[in-house]
Amino acid sequence: MYVVDSKVTVPDHKAEDLISIYQTRSRLVDEQPGFLSFQLLQNEHRPGELTVHMEWENKQAYLTWARSEQFRKIHELEKNYPDQELQGYVPKVYKYEVVAT
């Protein structure tokens, strides 16, 4: 299994706006071969710290998605958030190979 986490920290008062965006996400990734799950995580002590957690069957499935037209479309939408402040926050991406369960 391969895990990709994208962590972003926004001001606490913007957290609900960002959560709302993910609650209405396009779900294009859900249709991708090898995709297993998506969760949006919120730090219980720092509400403005949010992590997109995605699980894939393997690294190749993720890379195929990351190089796809659907991936480009979704990330192009991020440049058009109605909230100008949210456009400026760039997530840090962490990638993991699951080595034990």
pTM more than 0.85 = yes
- Residue with the two structure tokens 């499935």: 61
At residue 75, does pLDDT exceed 80? no
Could you tell me the domains of the chain? Answer: 2-97 (3.30.70.100)
For 20-70, what is each residue's pLDDT tens digit?
988 988 888 999 999 999 999 999 999 999 999 999 999 999 999 999 998
Please say if the pLDDT value at position 73 is more than 70. yes
Q: How many residues make up the chain in this entry?
A: 101
- Identify whether the C-beta of residue 49 lies closer than 8 Å to the C-beta of residue 1: no
Q: What are the residues whose beta carbons fall under 8 Å from the beta carbon of 81, sequence distance 6 or more?
A: 21, 87
**Whose CA is closest to 99, among 60, 61, 59?**
59
CA 54 to chain CA mean position, Å: 7
